[in-house]
Structure 1
Amino acid sequence: MSRRVMPFHLILLFVMAFSSSVFAGEKTDDEPDCLGTFSNMYFHQEAGDLLGEEIKIVIGEERTDDDAPLIGIFQQAMGAPLNPVIVDVRCGKDGVEFALPDDEYGAGSVFRGTITKKGIHGVFTHAKGARDEVDLPRRASYWDKRVVH
């Protein structure tokens, strides 16, 4: 190969490597790792109640306005588990956010928080202004712990 063709091949190789990581939806160093399970759900032995919240964040189907939309499967338990719901999740340098649907979870509840390697910390703000502070450690789902092998 001539010396003029060699730099072209190196540039092409670099572009291909960079574009494959971008299209794979990989995060940059300054972006939080938004994918995974975050849960504080537990069984209270004395009361016999299941309590807490958890969300599993995954990549959903591509849409025209998002490269890799994030979808959350959110569940809350207040004595007994409520049905899980699907939520659109926004996550980036500025934090994580999702809104709960207008059903058994109540109209207008929005979660806003920060995400780290250890988990999610934030606040649910409800329609009438009530606020609930929540810590959701990054860990296996409460339900995964119940699997028997």
Structure 2
Amino acid sequence: MLEYLKITELIGRAPWREAVTFRETWPHEYVLSRKDGQGELIELVCARFRAGEGVAGTFFGKPNTYLFIGDCKYWLMTHWDAIDLDDGQDYVLNRARLYRDRRDFVIQPGDTGKCEDYPAQPARSMQRADQR
């Protein structure tokens, strides 16, 4: 419980900024580990992923893992097992508001990420190999 309170406190204090290059295609925010002093937050997110709390999804066909906290989903640009906060690199933590629909798991071509826009053909669920 204390770890959850700590991560939500750090999320609330983080200097989130708009990912301007994705403003029209998939609006979200991000922070950097070094430039923004968010190493502790990124370490806690990595710990949650290592504990198995991540949920698999795709971003325009590319697999990723998401962490759902409050009204947002969070993801890293680097796999959490490859992050070394002492190596001098700046790591990116992203977040986007939850839509509470399939876009929280599969983002596909034609989807702008805006609440009012949802593809006419929502992503299909993956079939199990033995059901094909």
Q: So what's the TM-score if we normalise by structure 2? A: 0.28
- Point out the structure with the larger strand share: 1
Q: Which protein has greater RCO, CA pairs closer than 8 Å, 6+ apart?
A: 2
- Point out the structure with the larger helix share: 2
Task: Point out the structure with max Rg over C-alpha.
Answer: 1
Q: So what's the TM-score if we normalise by structure 1? A: 0.26
